Chains A and B, each alone.
Chain A
Amino acid sequence: MSDHGRDLEGTPEERQPPHRVIGTPPPARGLLTDPGRDGDTEPAGPGGAAAPELPSENPNPKSAKNWERLAAVLFIVSALSSIAFVAAYVGLEVHDKGNVVDAALRSNLGLGSAMSLAFLAIGAGMVIWVRNIMPPVELTEERHDLASTEEDRAAFEETFVEGAEASQITKRPLLRRTLLAATVPAALAPLVLLRDLGPLPGTSLRHTVWTKGMRLLVYGTNQPITPADFDSPGGMITVVPDGFQDDDVELAKATSIIIKLQPGQLEAPTNLNWTVDDIVAYSKICTHVGCPAALYEQTTHRILCPCHQSTFDATKGAQVIFGPAPRPLPQLPITTDAQGYLVAQSDFHEPVGPSFWERG
């Protein structure tokens, strides 16, 4: 039992690196290679700057030699990898017309592997160098007081006050106050320069480009659509205003969805006068923060915004069922024109999209 005790106690001490306190004289030179030496208890002596504090030899030259060889191998691997990087740059062409993604990924694989190996090998070699080839050492450095001495503080204070008095700023309130007053407009004036960053909002967020008789174009094909074209109950189609299909600013407000429901499914507060053949149109811009509410679940008639999961009931005026959106998706009044295509009756009757201060 006592044997066990000794075993357990003995080992950690031997793993200690030689410990030195900065400024202490070194042990005799002959002892430098002695792994058992320990300068821990030596007091910090004066005038030690000239004396070496770091050992110049590794206490275990044999293993250090082996580690040196391994580090050298790693450094050579690193050099070869860097050369391989250049070779991959020259050899692996990109924008191959056959399959451009594959070519890019091939080049990425070649360049990246070479680069990774080059850096990891040089890093590993350096770690071996510092941990296994440099002699182990542990130094103690004294911390100095961060606070200045009382005399220094007093001297600083005196100098500061002297300067303040010489500047007259303390004695001349007129000077002081007008100077302070001068800085306020000087600091505010540059803010005016930012005014032209953008136009004022005006009422632009209250309106979209939808007007009476404007056709609903199917997003993607940009073709108008008749109710007969869209006779699959449960379907949802994204529509954009005719003539604005490439105008991102207008699309960011005007984009809408049309949903075909079974007869009789639409109920209040949906405005049935704004629907055609059980087709209802809502703004696609979520009333939370403006993502496109793009997911539609046929069986439950729910419109879901994938960003923050606000959920709207398509049969009941797109009322909010769940999530952070505060308002239903505004309903777009639609009808059909002389050619039978779906068109808007007017603009939305309320602002679309997220809340803003002036919305009211």
Chain B
Amino acid sequence: MNILEVKNISKQYDKFLLDNISFEIAKGYIMGFIGENGAGKTTTINSILNVIIRDSGSVTVFGKDMDEHELEIKANIGFVSGDSFYPKRHVKEVTDVYKRFYPAWDEEVYQSYLKKFNIDPSKKLDELSKGMKMKFCISLALSHKAELLILDEPTSGLDPVARDNLLEVFQSLVEEGEVSVLFSTHITSDLEKSADYITFIQDGKLIDSCSKDDLIDKYRLVSGTKEQLSSIQDKLISHKTNAFGFMGLINTSDIPGNTNIKFGQPSLDDIMIYYANKDKEAVQ
């Protein structure tokens, strides 16, 4: 069963077009949503949440149309962004307001998360580290029994230890299969650890949306000498040259037979970087 279905959403701005983005998340999985800064990740999330008005396309959450059942759906979504709010307010003050909006609020669950994450409710929000703030937001989302977590750049600005810690939290959430996660980030190494599926957008356009392993299998890193480059250049997504030769990214299906050029498995970072360089001149 798909928890979230995004179909052909588009949004035109003066200098940016979010163009026909489609993807879906199955129940109990983590979907990594990747793209460089400015690729359209936050615009897509805002379109999903009806924060901005889509020009076209539809969003279905829990099998219901977002436009028709917005408030009912939002009551079952936990949205967590990297932004921090009300820095001078105490944790308990924010919770006191937040919980009023959710009839399904479970105080026991909330208290258990505060304990688990070691959050002191009497502290002000700006006394919490960024990682702790994210955990507080996740506690809020989970205490009203959100079935879909939408996380917009939750790990940006966190140190590696805090990031790893947070990723473990996300993984533990989906283990029981009740919560699904849409996780937007440009730190793709986070997704190598935690994501089941990847949706990759570039400059407002969908590049791919499939399982993480399938995405990595679709591409290969290529390296060779400058002489070998000319024989394969037209098949490369993009490449970089250096004093020793070149490195590039190629679709696995475009790999030529009978060649001694070296091929290797790319990381999500490699895929994102070489797509970002597509249509640009080779970086020297």
Verify that A and B bind, or say they do not: no
